[in-house]
Amino acid sequence: LRARKRIPAITGLEHTSPSRDDLKALCAAFGTTGSGPMLHLVGVTPEAPDLEIALGLGGGGGAAGAGADEEVETIALTR
């Protein structure tokens, strides 16, 4: 991921039920290969109930801290 100093908000897991082991594996892989300090899973982590809140577009600053005046970068992951 190219998050640099930003916190990525990952979408696509909203309608799944990842187990604790699934989440541990994802976070371990992110910690090993990612450059961000943490990540949010939209619809999974409490700070990111939806994408607008995660990106800070729903008022209140947002979990990922993008804010309404900052550019939001979207990266599509494919198989």
Backbone φ and ψ for 55, nearest 5 degrees, come out as -90, -5
Is the four-CA dihedral 29, 54, 79, 19 of positive or negative sign?
positive
Q: How far is CA 65 from CA 6, 55, 62, in A?
A: 8, 6, 5
User: Would you give per-residue pLDDT tens digits along the chain (79 residues)?
Assistant: 455 677 888 888 888 888 999 999 988 988 887 777 788 899 998 889 998 998 888 655 555 555 555 677 776 666 5
pTM of the model: 0.68
